[in-house]
């Protein structure tokens, strides 16, 4: 974008040429996205044809999605709720699990990042637990918590804490030696070091970790709710499959994807804001 | 005090008879770094005594360990052999008594100019009230000419201004000894010149910070600023090659000095000493 703005001709230009210019910018920005979307929809349509009706067409899905979105918050008892209610239920669990996860991961990562012996001690534990499939934790949560939705939150906590833990550890480990030296020479207290040096220095890495954790949490929720049932987008997908409505499944997939994208963008926006602020912008 | 003087080799006590106890005594100091199975010797047999009120420069080629020695004086790096005694006590850890200015400024980029100085003042000057700490911060920033930039972040300042902040921060904690690690190495020649003068002003004006040790690559800088110049031999396993006394009166005026015979002699001597 920045380079494009530099291209604005410096000689006098009328309102018309400037409007043309902006139309061109908008076209240049949007056209690749539109073309990409058209390709996706085209492939989807072809897949629907080849599968001889097993897969719903984009148009059938669009009309189902329209119906779902026209009344997102209706509630006709436990097995028939609007898509908005399901989305909010999923988001609630995701944020609870992710929040608990990062509340564990950030302090632990700060400790690990500051202590090489602790890192050596816990690295094997982390490397063993990290690749475990989210769903493997679900029965454990169920056994301890005796509650299916809470067990899903438990699985999210366990699986979403790793990226934040690893990134926080790395961020703290990579604090420039000069800044550590400054804190020692000027005899900063532990609290002053953590609040004025460690946290701001590691913040970009922590934010990246939080973003990756959120991505994982959002992936786990759908699978978890398929197992847990009751409410949520995962339950909605499984319920729609049982009702043999693949249009609803596809609609849910679109909603899941777009929500995931929005969450991710939220974090990158936050990251850019913080970086600009740290360097003195606003 | 007396036993220590007797225990030392007689060379120094002969030159400086019955003088006040030195501020810093370095004797037999060496530094080894582990390298795989073995150890690499960086510095060996360093003998140096620094008295209160002196301006000392360390000069030598890259990799001669002069910065390592400065870090050891700061307490940031441990010594491998020998002893290092500051004000009667062995140096074990960093202390604001030996404040440091780093080559790359080492300001906290997320804090404003004011906060960068204030955090150090607030951490060290615990005897002062909050109002006095703030007043001290304002005063040092004014002395380095940054009163109009206190709310800026370091990234918004030029290199010279950033180093002024770092120098202000170091002076603000009233160190007994100020350590400077190639403080002007990253600056252009004009900025370097004016910062050298500002440093001399601060040093001669501030009675509480009377001793300075500076690492430099620059021969003119060393002569202009120092009372004594410590020349290092080439590394690895470097040591002090010679200590040159700069016998030029203060306050020094750069322009008239640079044409003087003493200056030229020192310069030639240092050039030869460093190049063979």
pLDDT in tens, B233-269: 987 889 999 999 998 888 888 888 888 899 999 999 9
The partner residue sitting opposite A185, judged by closest CB among B100, B110, B152, is B100
The partner residue sitting opposite A184, judged by closest CB among B76, B102, B124, is B76
The answer for B 145-204 residues in CB contact with A (under 8 A) is 152-156, 169, 173
Better-scored residue on pLDDT, A278 or A175: A175
The average pLDDT across B125-137 equals: 95
Cβ-based contacts of B108 with chain A (< 8 Å): 179, 182, 196-197, 200
| Average pLDDT of chain B to the nearest whole number | 88
CATH number of A69-278: 1.10.3720.10
The answer for B 116-135 residues in CB contact with A (under 8 A) is 119-120, 123-124
- Report domain extents, chain A: 2-55, 69-278
Chain A residue with CA closest to B166: the answer is A182
CA distance B231 to chain A (A): 26
3-state secondary structure chain A: CHHHHHCCCCCCCCHHHHHHHHHHHHHHHHHHHHHHHHHHHHHHHHHHHHCCCCCCCHHHHHHHHHHHHHCCCCECCCCCECHHHHHHHHHHHHHHHHHHHHHHHHHHHHHHHHCHHHHHHHHHHHHHHCCCCHHHHHHHHHHHHCCHHHHHHHHHHHHHHHHHHHHHHHHHHCCCHHHHHHHHHCCCCHHHHHHHHHHHHHHHHHHHHHHHHHHHHHHHHHHHHHHHCCCCHHHHHHHHHHCCCHHHHHHHHHHHHHHHHHHHHHHHHHHHHHHHHHCCCC
Cβ-based contacts of B104 with chain A (< 8 Å): 178
Chain A residue with CA closest to B118: the answer is A186
Check whether B62 has a pLDDT greater than 80: yes
Chain-chain contact of A187 with B169 (C-beta, under 8 angstroms):
no
Q: Helices A148-173 and A116-129 meet at what angle, rounded to 10?
A: 140
- pLDDT tens digits, residue range B169-207? 999 999 999 999 999 988 898 999 999 998 988 888 766
Chain B residue with CA closest to A277: the answer is B110
- What is the value of ipTM here, to two decimals? 0.87
Chain-chain contact of A181 with B156 (C-beta, under 8 angstroms):
no
- pLDDT tens digits, residue range B147-176? 999 999 999 999 999 999 999 999 999 999
The average pLDDT across B94-121 equals: 94
The average pLDDT across A106-133 equals: 94
The answer for A 139-178 residues in CB contact with B (under 8 A) is 176, 178
Chain-chain contact of B102 with A178 (C-beta, under 8 angstroms):
yes
Using the Cβ of A282 and the Cβ atoms of chain B, whether some distance falls under 8 Å is answered with no
Chain-chain contact of A278 with B153 (C-beta, under 8 angstroms):
yes
Q: What is the pLDDT of residue B206?
A: 62
Chain A residue with CA closest to B121: the answer is A186
Chain-chain contact of A185 with B96 (C-beta, under 8 angstroms):
yes
Closest-CA residue to B99 (of B132, B63, B123, B66): B123
Chain-chain contact of A192 with B119 (C-beta, under 8 angstroms):
yes
Better-scored residue on pLDDT, A101 or A74: A101
Mutate to test the interface with B, among A177, A186, A199 (most CBs of B within 10 A): A186
Cβ-based contacts of A202 with chain B (< 8 Å): none
Percentage of chain B modeled with pLDDT above 90 = 69
- pLDDT tens digits, residue range A29-75? 889 989 999 999 999 999 999 988 888 999 999 999 999 999 888 88
| Average pLDDT of chain A to the nearest whole number | 90
Cβ-based contacts of B75 with chain A (< 8 Å): 184
Chain A residue with CA closest to B122: the answer is A188
Reported CATH class of domain B2-97+175-275: alpha beta
Chain-chain contact of A192 with B95 (C-beta, under 8 angstroms):
no
Chain B residue with CA closest to A186: the answer is B96
Check whether B59 has a pLDDT greater than 50: yes
Chain-chain contact of A182 with B108 (C-beta, under 8 angstroms):
yes
Q: What is the pLDDT of residue B95?
A: 95
Q: What is the pLDDT of residue B246?
A: 93
Check whether A278 has a pLDDT greater than 80: no
Check whether B11 has a pLDDT greater than 50: no
Chain-chain contact of A187 with B94 (C-beta, under 8 angstroms):
yes
Using the Cβ of A187 and the Cβ atoms of chain B, whether some distance falls under 8 Å is answered with yes
The partner residue sitting opposite A178, judged by closest CB among B93, B106, B111, is B106
Size of interface A-B (CB pairs under 8 A): 64
Chain-chain contact of B119 with A196 (C-beta, under 8 angstroms):
yes
Cβ-based contacts of B173 with chain A (< 8 Å): 186
Chain A residue with CA closest to B74: the answer is A185
Check whether A207 has a pLDDT greater than 90: yes
Chain-chain contact of B106 with A188 (C-beta, under 8 angstroms):
no
Using the Cβ of B74 and the Cβ atoms of chain A, whether some distance falls under 8 Å is answered with yes
- pLDDT tens digits, residue range A3-32? 445 555 555 557 778 888 888 988 888 899
Check whether A2 has a pLDDT greater than 50: no
CA distance B106 to chain A (A): 6
Check whether B10 has a pLDDT greater than 50: no
């Amino acid at each position: 974008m920045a380079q494009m703005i530099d291209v604005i001709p410096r000689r006098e230009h009328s309102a018309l040429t400037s409007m043309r210019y902006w139309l061109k910018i908008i076209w240049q920005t949007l056209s690749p996205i539109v073309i990409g979307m058209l390709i996706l929809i085209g492939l989807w349509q072809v897949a629907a044809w080849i599968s001889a009706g097993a897969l719903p067409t984009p148009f059938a899905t669009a009309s189902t999605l329209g119906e779902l979105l026209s009344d997102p918050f209706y509630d006709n008892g436990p097995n028939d709720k609007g898509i908005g209610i399901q989305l909010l239920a999923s988001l609630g669990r995701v944020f609870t699990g992710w929040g608990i996860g990062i509340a564990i991961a950030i302090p632990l990562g700060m400790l690990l990042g500051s202590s090489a012996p602790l890192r050596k001690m816990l690295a094997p534990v982390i490397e063993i637990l990290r690749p475990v499939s989210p769903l493997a934790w679900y029965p454990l949560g169920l056994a301890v918590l005796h509650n299916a939705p809470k067990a899903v939150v438990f699985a999210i906590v366990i699986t979403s804490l790793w990226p934040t833990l690893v990134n926080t550890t790395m961020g703290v480990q990579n604090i420039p030696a000069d800044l550590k030296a400054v804190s020692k020479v000027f005899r900063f207290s532990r609290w002053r070091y953590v609040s004025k040096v460690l946290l701001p220095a590691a913040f970009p890495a922590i934010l990246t970790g939080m973003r990756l954790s959120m991505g994982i949490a959002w992936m786990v929720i759908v699978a978890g709710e398929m197992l847990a049932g009751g409410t949520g987008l995962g339950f909605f997908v499984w319920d729609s499959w049982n009702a043999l409505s693949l249009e609803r499944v596809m609609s849910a997939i679109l909603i899941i994807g777009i929500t995931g994208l929005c969450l991710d963008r939220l974090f990158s926006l936050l990251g850019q804001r913080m970086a600009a602020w740290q360097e003195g912008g606003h | 005090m007396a036993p220590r003087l007797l225990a030392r080799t007689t060379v120094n006590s002969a030159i400086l008879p019955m003088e006040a106890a030195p501020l810093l005594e370095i004797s037999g100091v060496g530094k080894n770094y582990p390298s795989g199975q073995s150890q690499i010797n960086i510095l060996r047999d360093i003998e140096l005594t620094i008295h209160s009120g002196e301006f000392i420069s360390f000069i030598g080629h890259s990799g001669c360990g002069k910065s390592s020695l400065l870090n050891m004086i700061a307490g940031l790096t441990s010594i491998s052999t020998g002893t290092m005694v500051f004000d009667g006590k062995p140096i074990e850890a960093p202390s604001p008594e030996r404040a440091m200015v780093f080559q790359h400024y080492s300001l906290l980029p997320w804090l404003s100019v004011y906060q960068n100085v204030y955090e150090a003042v607030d951490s060290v000057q615990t005897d002062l009230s909050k109002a006095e700490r703030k007043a001290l911060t304002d005063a040092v920033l004014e002395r380095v000419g940054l009163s109009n930039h206190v709310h800026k972040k370091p990234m918004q300042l030029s290199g010279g201004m950033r180093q002024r902040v770092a120098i202000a921060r170091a002076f603000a904690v009233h160190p007994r000894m100020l350590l400077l690690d190639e403080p002007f190495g990253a600056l252009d020649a004009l900025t370097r010149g004016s910062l050298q003068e500002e440093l001399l002003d601060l040093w001669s004006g501030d009675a509480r910070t009377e001793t300075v040790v500076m690492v430099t690559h620059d021969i003119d800088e060393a002569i202009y600023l120092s009372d004594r110049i410590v020349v290092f031999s080439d590394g690895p396993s470097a040591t002090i090659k010679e200590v040159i006394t700069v016998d030029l009166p203060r306050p020094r005026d750069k322009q008239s000095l640079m044409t003087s015979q003493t200056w030229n002699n020192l310069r030639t001597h240092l050039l030869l000493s460093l190049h063979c």
